[in-house]
Amino acid sequence: MMSFLLLYLLSQTIFVQSQLLYSDAEVTEVIGYKRSIEGEREFHIKFGNESVDLDLVSSDGLLPKTLSVNVLDVDDDGNLVIDDWVHTTNGGKEIYVDFKHSASLLIEENNGRPELKGKLNEKLYIQPNKEDNSRKGRHSIYQLKPKATLETRSNDDVESVPISENQSDSQSGSSHEKRQQLSQIYVPLHIVVDFDLYSLIGYNPANVIEYVKTFVGAINAYFALIQQPRVQISIQAIDIYKSKAAASTIEQHRNYADNGLICGEVLKTYRKWANTERSRIGDNYAAIFILTGSKSMCDQPQNNQCNIGIAGDDYSYNGVQDATHEVGHL
């Protein structure tokens, strides 16, 4: 049983918008000896006067091909309804990472052409042009604008809270020290996607799953730069909230002056809710990680009640670096 409930909220004070740079990027797969090696692929991506060469490795073993997904909503009487289903990754869609560029890409074969979707590097991400029938295989390249007014609070600011009310301080106090002594750290996450991010991704659970897996793949690409200890982030399960009513444990803590979340209260309430749902959630995860599409975030300190990390994401991977930083506090 894990000793802590570490809850991470990804959001930002001022929402960052991505900028379209090129809509005619050329993606060419390099057919060489690496293509014959299972799990490895090379791509040359050209846009304008620039180009990126990717040396990709399959995330197989880092991210699950099959995982539990819970889609949460409410019925006409306001009762919480949980649609439990198991998501199995289509063999034609794979997550690949490039450690040099900290890239994470979902690759899908479409009529014999590879389509790339995801994070290219720290500044760019790529999407296929689905409607460009005259120039098949072309992709769009987006650049993220610099972040503004980003609020952060790390685990150094607050103390940890045991996931179970019955766990003692002595059990929880040495957990971090023990992990520091390990040569490899495995961190399974139970990821919660709130309604705001669900709506940004187009109200489509399948797209949410693809985005979350690519997002976590990018976190792993950063952690791969660390040799000792080696850190491996995985996904234990995903909860998707289809409505604000279903996500009442989160939504009840809004600062209605700016509609931002009061993160300290969210942490405390969600921890208690998770304890009541132990039979469903289980205990084989290191942390519950909430991804929120809330446009702003306000923080209310809770007198060392919780661990809190705040970063930003708007369905364009701009929260990956901050999320990686916060996962590093585990």
pLDDT at residue number 1: 32
pLDDT at residue number 13: 34
pLDDT band at 297 (very low <50, low <70, confident <90, very high): low
In this prediction the pTM is 0.77
What b/e readout covers 54-71, taking b as 16+ CB neighbours within 10 angstroms? bbbbbbeebbbbebbbbb
d(CA 60, CA 65): 8
pLDDT at residue number 151: 39
> Any idea of the CA torsion for 277, 280, 285, 290, to the nearest 10 degrees?
-60
Location of structure tokens 């869609």: 93
Neighbours of 78 (CB within 10 A): 9
Minimum mean pLDDT range among 13-27, 117-131, 206-220: 13-27
**326 pLDDT higher than 90:** no
Minimum mean pLDDT range among 1-10, 87-96, 281-290, 298-307: 1-10
Compare 12 and 312 and report the one with higher pLDDT. 312
**224 pLDDT higher than 80:** yes
